[in-house]
Amino acid sequence: DIQMTQSPSSVSASVGDRVTITCRASQGISTWLAWYQQKPGKAPKLLIYAASTLQSGVPSRFSGSGSGTDFTLTISSLQPEDFATYYCQQANNFPYTFGQGTKLEIQ
């Protein structure tokens, strides 16, 4: 299985900050990477797919980049509703696997 490793595991930030979360794959996955946001007690929400394509309806302050093994999710200016846990997911090989999550907390 392809292992997905996110860093950091948690991060504290303030409203208006720029935040970057990293996801590293244990082998190359081209751009077959998605990012999800999950709030407590809720299902994950798709933010970005194919590494950099914004899902319909997702604010443009979210962006993704990368290819191969290294990927980033950037939130350009944090809003109060962005405090949540973020997961990356690879779809290069089955079984599709997720990162362990990055919890974004209010500083």
For residue 102, state whether it binds another protein (rule: CB under 8 A): no
Q: Which stretch binds another protein (CB under 8 A): 10-18, 37-45, 66-74, 76-84?
A: 37-45
Q: How many of the other CB atoms lie within 10 Å of CB of 1? A: 10
Secondary structure, 3-state, 5-59: EEECCEEEECCCCCEEEEEEECCCCCCCEEEEEECCCCCCEEEEECCCEECCCCC
Residue 83 within binding range of another protein, rule CB under 8 A: no
Binding segment (CB under 8 A) for another protein, from list 16-24, 58-66, 69-77, 94-102 = 94-102
Nearest approach, Cβ of residue 54 and another protein (Å): 12
CB-side exposure of 12: number of CA atoms within 13 Å?
Answer: 2
Instruction: Return the number of the residue (13 or 46) whose C-beta is nearest another protein.
Output: 46
Residue 14 Cβ vs another protein, minimum distance, rounded to whole Å? 26
Q: How far is CA 74 from the centre of its chain?
A: 8
Distance CA 89, CA 92 (A): 9
Q: Which residues bind another protein (CB under 8 A)?
A: 1, 31-34, 36, 42-46, 49-50, 53, 55, 87, 89, 91, 94-101
